[in-house]
Structure 1
């Protein structure tokens, strides 16, 4: 009986220590703009067009390669051009992002890092990434504070 219990505990521990990657069918992101609600799977986000940002971050060592959809393209797709964005994470942590950040060459909603999908444990499945290395305006405390990981919803206010 002790061996069986030990085996069950070991399997349970292993299951919860493995990184969990969302499936292709899982809704990863919900965007709310007034009465409109848009839900996106990883495939939906990819279909909007991919953009790569290669940059260092304050949360990782060395240069990282992120792939995702440009925030400006995502918001254009849902027909949002004004307001303030409230970006929220799985744990309900939220940040405000001004529409002035939503521009060509600005942040992406990243779903891949260094060629791999990001698990919840690895700041995924979605992470708002700015091109920090492309200019000093992206390396400020304010911009870093908007780089929310484990993103799962955006509400336009």
Structure 2
């Protein structure tokens, strides 16, 4: 049991360090375009009253990552591109442990902040190199690299993959 506690402490320390070391986004800048994502709750940076608002240009300014993966929602593998979720959280100065992802239709998915450290979760803004319309799970979609680990090919992680994302509430 002691070894697993040490492992947990080491993982939490690594997560904190990774979030602190993630690229500084320009979250303090004001969005120039339509706000597509709001991060609120336990955050230390804000560009609006108690929250961080991002437009698509701000999300595109963060380092972009891509992977191709099968999902339960498409018959063929799809390529997803966007900033890592951990970089978006770092830009907002996230200090909580739980993310409540809220979609345009008010669907809510809960995921641990630690997922953003353990896995290269992408806040996809492009699918197959094209912006995603709302009718096709856009404009933003939390996507895990399902094909990279068998563990990720489960209902647990599929349920954490909110599409038509509009906000992240940090607890």
- Fold match, TM over 0.5? yes
The equivalent of 1:115 in structure 2 is 129
Are 1:90 and 2:104 matched, yes or no?
yes
Point out the more displaced range, 83-92 or 101-110. Answer: 101-110
What are the residue-to-residue correspondences of 1:46-65 with 2, within 5 Å? 46-65=60-79
Point out the more displaced range, 54-63 or 35-44. Answer: 35-44
The equivalent of 1:73 in structure 2 is 87
Are 1:42 and 2:56 matched, yes or no?
yes
Q: CA RMSD in A?
A: 1.5
Q: TM-score, normalised by structure 2?
A: 0.74
Runs of 4+ displaced beyond 2 Å: 33-36
Supply the distance in 2 between the matched residues of 1:96 and 1:140 (Cα, whole angstroms): 15
Supply the distance in 1 between the matched residues of 2:80 and 2:63 (Cα, whole angstroms): 14
3-state secondary structure, aligned to 2:99: strand
Structure 2, unmatched stretches of 5+, are 1-31, 43-48
Give the C-alpha shift of residue 82 in structure 1: 3.1
Supply the distance in 2 between the matched residues of 1:87 and 1:59 (Cα, whole angstroms): 18
Point out the more displaced range, 147-156 or 94-103. Answer: 94-103
Are 1:32 and 2:40 matched, yes or no?
yes
User: Any conservation in 2 of the 1:72–1:104 contact (CA below 8 Å)?
Assistant: no
Q: TM-score, normalised by structure 1?
A: 0.81
Give the C-alpha shift of residue 36 in structure 1: 2.9
Give the C-alpha shift of residue 102 in structure 1: 1.4
The equivalent of 1:144 in structure 2 is 158
3-state secondary structure, aligned to 2:106: coil
Are 1:134 and 2:148 matched, yes or no?
yes
Deviations 1:107-148 (A, max 9, x none): 111010001100010100000000000001211110000111
3-state secondary structure, aligned to 1:103: helix
